[in-house]
Structure 1
Amino acid sequence: MKAKLGVSALVVLFLAGLWLIAAPFAVGYQPRGAAYADATVNDLWLGGALAGVSFVAIVVYAADALRELTGRGKHVADS
């Protein structure tokens, strides 16, 4: 149960990071063709960092889960 909650939180954080990256353009407070406003630069850096860190955490969790499943398979095969 805790693992599902943690992975769900990581997915939500990843999606929030993607939204921060897309928000200046989707909402329209970054005019097309204009120099990036300070708010846009902030959203891009923060969203990129949030999405990147949460993506790495999801990959690490998936690798750990795969390693555990592989270990269980070896244990069953040895029996």
Structure 2
Amino acid sequence: MKAKLGVAALVLLFLGGLWLIAAPFAVGYQPRGAAYVAATVNDLWLGGALAALSFVSLVIYAADALRELARRGAHADD
């Protein structure tokens, strides 16, 4: 149960990071063709860091889960 909550939290963090990256353009506070305003730069850096960190955490979790399944499969043949 705890693992499912952790994965759900990481997925929500990843989606939140993607939203921060898209928000300046979707909401419209970044004028088209203009230099990036400070809020846009902040959203891009923070959203990128949040999305990257949560994605890496999800990949590590998935690799660990696959490793555990492989270990259990190897012991089942004994």
Q: Common fold, TM-score beyond 0.5?
A: yes
Q: Report SS of the residue matched to 2:77.
A: helix
Give the residue type in structure 2 aligned to 1:33: G
Segments of structure 2 that go 5 or more residues without pairing to the other structure are none
- How far, CA to CA, are the matches of 1:77 and 1:18 in structure 2? 43
Q: How does 1:3-22 map to 2 (within 5 A)?
A: 3-22=3-22
Across the aligned residues of Structure 1 and Structure 2, the Cα RMSD in angstroms comes to 0.3
SS in 1 for 2:30: coil
Query: What letter matches 2:52 in structure 1?
Result: G
Q: How much has 1:50 moved relative to structure 2?
A: 0.1
Once the two structures are TM-superposed, the CA of residue 17 in structure 1 deviates from its matched residue by: 0.1
In the alignment, structure 1 segments of 5+ residues that lack a partner are none
Scaled by the length of structure 2, the TM-score of the pair is 0.99
Query: Structure 2 matches for 1:47-62, cutoff 5 A?
Result: 47-62=47-62
Paired residue secondary structure (1:31) = coil
Q: Which runs of 4+ in 1 moved over 3 A?
A: none
Residue 55 of structure 2 aligns with an amino acid whose one-letter code is F
What TM-score, normalized by structure 1, do the two folds share? 0.98
AA at the equivalent of 2:28: G
